Amino acid sequence: MSCKSSLDCTICFTWNGEIEMFRLLIAAALLLCPPAIASDLRVIDGDTVEIAGEKIRLCCVDTPEIRGQCEAERRLAVLAKHRVASLMAGNTYSVDRSSQKTDRYGRTIASIRLMGSTLSEILIAEGYGRTYSGGRRSSWCSR
């Protein structure tokens, strides 16, 4: 839209400013709020989800803890949780429970496959998690 008079320019400037403010608000909302997900799915943290009441611990990956030891770990944990929510929200997924194992908290250890990969592989490749095969976890705070 081109301005034809000083009044038009004032209107153009105000309208463009409102559009820019709206864009900034949308960007902030997308950063702060995870996408909506199916009602039978709850993302607990980066490596634990609950599907239809069953808690599932993703196999082969360790992600930072929401109540981690340092601020950097806690921040990355929130990002990992939101990434899992965004990946699962818009994609068809399947759960592979073939190991038929549970962890010490009673969670089913399983793989979740979507977009041709496991969720664990995606998290590791994107830097939200690291390979884990059980045992003592390495600290996220010494990175």
* Residue 44 and residue 54 in contact, taking contact as beta carbons nearer than 8 Å: no
Show pLDDT as tens, one digit a residue, over the chain (143 residues).
444 544 444 444 455 566 666 666 665 665 565 554 556 899 999 999 999 999 999 999 999 999 989 999 999 999 999 999 999 987 899 999 988 899 999 999 999 999 999 999 999 999 999 999 777 888 899 75
Residue 139 is classified by DSSP as P
What pLDDT is recorded for position 37?
A: 55
Q: Cβ(57)–Cβ(100) under 8 Å?
A: no
